[in-house]
């Protein structure tokens, strides 16, 4: 009996420690696409993220992923998520309405807006297109970049194409996650993608 109790306490301690190490993941859902095909909706049903339809329910501290802010998620931001208890928030909207959606959301939150460095989408709609990621891919990539690879892989395990994301992006993901500054991270994009350097 004592052995079983000791085992149960040990198991619970490990589970609590594991839960403490998980970054809180959220998404604001603007209902601009089919919920049956929406990656954030699926992840919320699995319990992998908390989905919000109202802005006032969003976390007050953390980072929101939005691709128009011009500031990349870099090493300088990691502490907010890893040490200060900040949440990672995805902006779930249609690419067709991205500008209006970003404007609408960023007026109503104090979260820090960050964008991702270039990566290839693995989802069936935009497979192989640089930057055209689903909310699930963007959140997963962010977790990978801050050293939370296990949590990143768990998110995308919900999709049959999920592992393809890591295969397609292995080299840039590993290089980006090893960058020592946002400046270095931005420069690394030119090694992997044929894009013009800003003047």
Question: pLDDT tens, 103-133?
Answer: 777 777 888 899 999 999 999 988 999 988 9
Q: Are 177 and 145 in contact (CB under 8 A)?
A: yes
Query: 178 and 74 in contact (C-beta within 8 Å)?
Result: no
pLDDT(79) > 80:
yes
Q: Is residue 5 part of a domain?
A: no
Indicate the average pLDDT of the chain.
84
Confidence of residue 147 (pLDDT cuts 50, 70, 90): very high
Burial of 98 (0-12, 13-18, 19+ CB in 10 A): middle
- Does 3 score more than 80 pLDDT? no
Distance CA 132, CA 65 (A): 13
Helices (H), 1-97: 2-20, 39-46, 78-82
Q: What is the pLDDT of residue 9?
A: 55
Q: Is residue 2 part of a domain?
A: no
In a domain, 6, yes or no: no
Has residue 130 been placed in a domain? yes
Average pLDDT over residues 172-194: 92
Q: Is the Cβ–Cβ distance between 27 and 5 less than 8 Å?
A: no
Two tokens at 10? Answer: 């040990």
Instruction: State the pLDDT at residue 20.
Output: 52
pLDDT at 66: 87
Does residue 187 sit within a domain? yes
Per the listing, tokens 């603007």 go with 30
Query: Is a pLDDT exceeding 60 seen at residue 13?
Result: no
Q: Within a 10 A sphere around the Cβ of 48, how many other Cβ atoms?
A: 20
- Whether the pLDDT of residue 62 is over 70: the answer is yes
Please tell me whether residue 10 adopts helix, strand or coil conformation: helix
Structural domain contains residue 78: yes
Residue 149 maps to a domain: yes
| Count of C-beta atoms within a 10 Å radius of residue 185 | 23
Q: Which structural domain, as residue segments, surrounds residue 75?
A: 22-192
Query: How far is residue 197 CA from its own chain's centroid?
Result: 25
The number of distinct structural domains making up the chain is 1
In the sheet where 62-65 sits, what is the strand order? 50-52, 25-29, 87-92, 62-65, 112-114
Whether residue 166 is contained in a domain is answered as: yes
The radius of gyration of the chain from alpha carbons, rounded to an integer in Å, stands at: 18
- 43 compared with 20, residue with greater pLDDT: 43
**Residue 91 near residue 101 (C-beta atoms within 8 A):** yes
pLDDT at residue 44 greater than cutoff 50: yes
Q: How confident is the model at residue 184 (pLDDT cuts 50, 70, 90)?
A: very high
């Amino acid at each position: 009996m004592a052995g079983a109790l000791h085992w149960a306490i040990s198991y619970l301690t490990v589970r609590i420690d594991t839960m403490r190490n998980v970054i809180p993941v959220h998404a604001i859902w603007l209902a601009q696409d089919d919920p049956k095909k929406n990656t954030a909706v699926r992840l919320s049903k699995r319990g992998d993220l908390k989905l919000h339809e109202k802005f006032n329910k969003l976390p007050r501290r953390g980072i929101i992923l939005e691709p128009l802010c011009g500031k990349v998620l870099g090493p300088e931001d990691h502490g907010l998520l890893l040490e200060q208890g900040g949440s990672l928030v995805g902006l779930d909207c249609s690419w067709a309405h991205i500008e209006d959606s970003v404007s609408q959301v960023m007026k109503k939150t104090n979260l820090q807006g960050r964008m991702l460095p270039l990566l290839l989408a693995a989802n069936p709609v935009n497979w192989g297109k640089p930057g055209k990621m689903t909310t699930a891919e963007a959140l997963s990539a962010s977790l990978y970049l801050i050293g939370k690879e296990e949590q990143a892989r768990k998110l995308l395990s919900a999709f049959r194409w999920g592992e393809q994301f890591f295969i397609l992006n292995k080299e840039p993901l590993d290089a980006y996650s090893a960058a020592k500054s946002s400046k270095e991270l931005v420069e690394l994009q030119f090694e992997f993608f044929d894009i013009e350097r800003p003047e």
